[in-house]
């Protein structure tokens, strides 16, 4: 059976963690490994995680130690995971429905006979749509960037069209590409592109689950550090798509934003 590793990164996350843990606990799919990688929290994060570990029917692994930031902790989870696929679901984020993981697995192996296939023949990535929620987990709207029906590594020229929390990557491929720690706010964009490039090289599909798979809490790290994140994303896109093309694309982004504001004010 397909095994899914969920990785949750925490640091002083007592306010938002329970919603994430309840979301994992509610999943109907049984073959789940949940890794909670904590950065030596000083609040009640560990107590909440340990209570969840005792109550969960899934395998739960908790590791708490100092780290060098979010992406360093993600790399630790990447190395520790043992599933066929991984997804990052950080404190405050949640699965859209109790059958989300089952839906993703159905997209990976749509026919029962597929279960006997070698892992090397399975899709490199399964992806879906994302809902934006408020601080209490209430639905606000769908994410502005919507996933394309057909995704390739070139798709991210238009922005990060698939949210990190809605991107299920095959572990054997993802582990080859640790997060680049020179990026403090946008290493996830770079990571997704590198995995999709490898999928293209190997001739492996990127499969659209065609459903909402994640709830993302508004006001995350990228929102809080918006300006720095934009500069980093420019660097990431220039590295993968070329400097000139990235400049032209960003000029279009700016023009489009201005036109949208003009139309909104009419």
Q: What percent of the chain stands above pLDDT 70?
A: 87
246 vs 2, higher pLDDT: 2
For residue range 248-258, list pLDDT tens digits in order: 776 666 655 66
| Span 34-53, pLDDT tens digits | 999 999 999 999 999 999 99
**Most confident range, picked from 90-104, 110-124, 212-226:** 90-104
pLDDT band at 61 (very low <50, low <70, confident <90, very high): very high
The rounded distance, in Å, linking the Cα atoms of 83 and 32 is 8
Q: What is the pLDDT of residues 195-216, one digit of tens each?
A: 999 999 999 999 999 999 999 9
Q: What is the pLDDT of residues 78-108, one digit of tens each?
A: 999 999 999 999 999 999 999 999 999 999 9
Say if residue 75's pLDDT is above 60.
yes
> Could you tell me the CA-to-CA distances from 198 to 105, 121, 193, 212 in Å, in that order?
21, 14, 9, 25
Report pTM: 0.89
Q: How does pLDDT run across 177-186, given as a tens digit for each residue?
A: 999 999 999 9
Containing 85, the helix (H) or strand (E) segment is strand 85-88
- Judged by phi (left if over 0) then psi (alpha if -120 to 50, else beta), residue 43 lies in beta
């Amino acid at each position: 059976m397909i095994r899914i590793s969920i990785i949750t990164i925490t640091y002083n996350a007592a306010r938002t963690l329970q919603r994430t843990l309840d979301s994992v606990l509610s999943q109907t799919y049984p073959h789940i490994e949940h890794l909670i990688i904590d950065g030596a929290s000083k609040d009640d994060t560990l107590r909440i995680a340990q209570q969840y570990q005792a109550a969960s029917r899934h395998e739960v692994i908790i590791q708490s130690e100092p780290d060098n930031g979010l992406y360093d902790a993600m790399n630790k989870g990447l190395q520790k995971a043992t599933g066929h696929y991984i997804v990052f679901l950080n404190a405050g984020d949640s699965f859209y429905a109790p059958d989300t993981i089952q839906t993703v697995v159905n997209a990976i192996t749509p026919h029962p006979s597929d279960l006997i296939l070698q892992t090397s023949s399975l899709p490199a990535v399964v992806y879906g749509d994302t809902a934006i929620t408020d601080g209490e987990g209430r639905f606000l709207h769908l994410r502005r960037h919507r996933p394309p029906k057909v995704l390739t590594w070139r798709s991210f020229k238009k922005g990060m069209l698939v949210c990190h929390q809605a991107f299920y990557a095959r572990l054997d491929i993802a582990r080859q590409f640790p997060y680049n720690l020179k990026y403090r706010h946008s290493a996830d964009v770079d990571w997704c592109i590198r995995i999709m490039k490898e999928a293209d090289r190997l001739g492996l599909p990127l499969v659209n689950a065609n459903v909402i798979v994640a709830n993302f809490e508004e006001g995350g790290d990228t929102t809080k550090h918006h300006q720095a994140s934009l500069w980093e994303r420019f660097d990431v896109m220039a590295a993968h798509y070329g400097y000139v093309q990235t400049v032209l694309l960003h000029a279009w982004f700016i023009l489009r934003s201005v036109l949208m504001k003009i139309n909104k004010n009419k």
